[in-house]
Amino acid sequence: MNYQAKSDRYQQLPYRRCGNSGLLLPAISLGLWHNFGGVDVYETYRDVLRVAFDRGVTHFDLANNYGPPPGSAEENFGRILKQDFAAYRDELIISTKAGYRMWDGPYGEWGSKKYLVSSLDQSLRRMGLDYVDIFYSHRPDPDTPLEETMGALDLIVRQGKALYAGISNYTAEQTTRAVAILKRLGTPCLIHQPKYSMLERWVEGGLMDVLGQEGIGCIPFSPLAQGLLTDKYLKGIPADSRAAKPHGFLQASAITEGVISKLQQLNAIAEKRNQSLAQMALAWLLKDPRVTSVLIGASRTTQLLDSLACLNNLAFSAEELADIERILGQ
Ligand SMILES: NC(=O)c1ccc[n+]([C@@H]2O[C@H](COP(=O)([O-])OP(=O)(O)OC[C@H]3O[C@@H](n4cnc5c(N)ncnc54)[C@H](OP(=O)(O)O)[C@@H]3O)[C@@H](O)[C@H]2O)c1
C-alpha cells in the first residue's frame, strides 16, 4: 500500500535551532547504525521509519559503514526513500559520514580527501540521492592534516553533494581547530556528533563549552547508552537485545552489577516522574539548550514511541537533578 504521511506530523514535537545556523532539527532524531542492515527485518524497520516521520522526526542519520554488512543500512534506507518518502525529500534531513574502515587498501578509512570524496559518492549511489543534507568526518585522523580533512568537507559542500558539514568524535581541542579552519574556508561547521549520555559524560569536560561559544549544534549519539538506560537490562539480558546479538556493539560484559544498581536507582526516580527510564535519560540531555537533538536508535516501533514520549516531561526539579548526580557519581 502506498504510504501517505500523516497530515498532523508537524504538530507532534518541537524543532530546535542547530547552533547559530538556519537549520531546525527535531528534538529527537533517528539513527540507522543498528537495526536497519542486511541482517534485520525489512517490515520492522520500514515501520519504524514511517512512524518516525509521521511523528515529526525529519532527521535520519546514517554512515557509510552502517549495517551489517557495511553499506546495507544506506541501501535499505535508499529503497524505503524511493518507495515511501520520494515525495517528501525536501522535508527530510539525511546525514551520512565517512571515517571508519569501509573498503580495502589505503583509501578506505580515516580522513584523506581521497577517502571522504569517494565514500560520499558511494553513499549517494547506495541511497539513490543527489545530495545529503549533512556530511560528517566520522572521526579525527591523527595522520592526515586537519586542513585536508576540513578542505574535503568544504569541497563537498561547494560541489553541492552536501548542504552542511559536521564532525563527530572530535575532542574539544580538535573541534576548536577544525571549526577555525572551516570558518576560514567559508563553510561553517554546523554540528558535532559526540557520544553523550548519563553514563558517558566526557563532553562536559570542555567540548560543550566550545560548541556553545562557537554556535555549533550538538547531537548526542547513543543517548540511551545503547539500551542500558532503559528498563530492558534490569533483570538480565533479553535474548533479542543488542547485548545478546553477535553483531551488537554493546558487550554483555558492560552490564555489571554496579551498572545495574545505578540503573535501578535511576529507574526509581523515573517512576516518580511518571516516565520510563529511557524517557528520563533523553529528557536529561535535552535540558541543555546546546543539545539540538538527541540521536536515538530503535529496534522496533514501540521503542521509538516510548522514547518520543520523553517530550511530555522535560523539566527537572533541583532535587531530582541532585539525586541523579549522586547516583551517577557512585
Ligand atoms: N558518530 C558516531 O561515531 C556514532 C556511533 C554510534 C552511534 N551513532 C549514531 O547514533 C544513533 C543511535 O545510537 P544507538 O543505537 O547506540 O542509540 P541508543 O538510543 O543509545 O540505543 C538504541 C538501542 O536501545 C534500545 N532501546 C531504544 N529505545 C528503547 C526503549 N524506549 N526501551 C527499551 N529499549 C530501547 C534498543 O536496543 P535493542 O536493539 O536491544 O532492542 C535500541 O537499538 C546510531 O543509529 C547512529 O546514527 C553515531
pLDDT at 236 (0 to 100) = 83
Q: Please give the model's pTM, rounded to 2 decimal places.
A: 0.97
Q: Is the pLDDT of residue 12 over 70?
A: yes
Domain contains 176: yes
CB 168 within 8 A of CB 194: yes
pLDDT at 89 (0 to 100) = 98
Of 30, 33, 65, 175, which is best to mutate to test ligand 1, by the most ligand atoms within 8 angstroms of its C-beta? Answer: 33
Distance CA 208, CA 221 (A): 14
- Reported as a single tens digit per residue, the pLDDT across 193-238 is 999 999 999 999 999 999 999 999 999 999 999 999 999 998 888 8
Q: How many angstroms is it from 222 CA to the middle of ligand 1?
A: 5
CATH number at residue 93: 3.20.20.100
Domain contains 320: no
Indicate if ligand 1 lies below 6 Å from the C-beta of 262: no
Which residue's C-alpha cell is 552536501?
162
Indicate if ligand 1 lies below 6 Å from the C-beta of 225: yes
For 214, left (φ over 0), alpha (ψ -120 to 50), or beta? alpha
Count of other CB atoms within 10 angstroms of residue 99: 24
Which residue's C-alpha cell is 563553510?
187
Domain contains 269: no
Cell numbers linked to 47 = 515501520
Q: How many angstroms is it from 97 CA to the middle of ligand 1?
A: 17
Domain contains 326: no
Q: Is the pLDDT of residue 240 over 90?
A: no
15-17/24-26 β-pairing: antiparallel
Looking at 165-174, 184-193, 232-241, 311-320, which range is the least confident one? 232-241
Distances (CA, A) of 167 to 72, 219, 315: 22, 11, 29
Over range 258-274, report the average pLDDT.
96
Domain contains 277: no
Indicate if ligand 1 lies below 6 Å from the C-beta of 222: yes
Domain contains 13: yes
Domain contains 275: no
Indicate if ligand 1 lies below 6 Å from the C-beta of 29: no
Indicate if ligand 1 lies below 6 Å from the C-beta of 58: no
- Reported as a single tens digit per residue, the pLDDT across 18-69 is 999 999 999 999 999 999 999 999 999 999 999 999 999 999 999 999 999 9
The number of the ligand 1 atom at minimal distance from the alpha carbon of 238 is 40
Domain contains 118: yes
- Reported as a single tens digit per residue, the pLDDT across 82-131 is 999 999 999 999 999 999 999 999 999 999 999 999 999 999 999 999 99
Give residue 1's pLDDT band: very low, low, confident or very high (50, 70, 90).
low
Domain that holds residue 289: 9-235+285-310
Q: How many structural domains is the chain composed of? A: 1
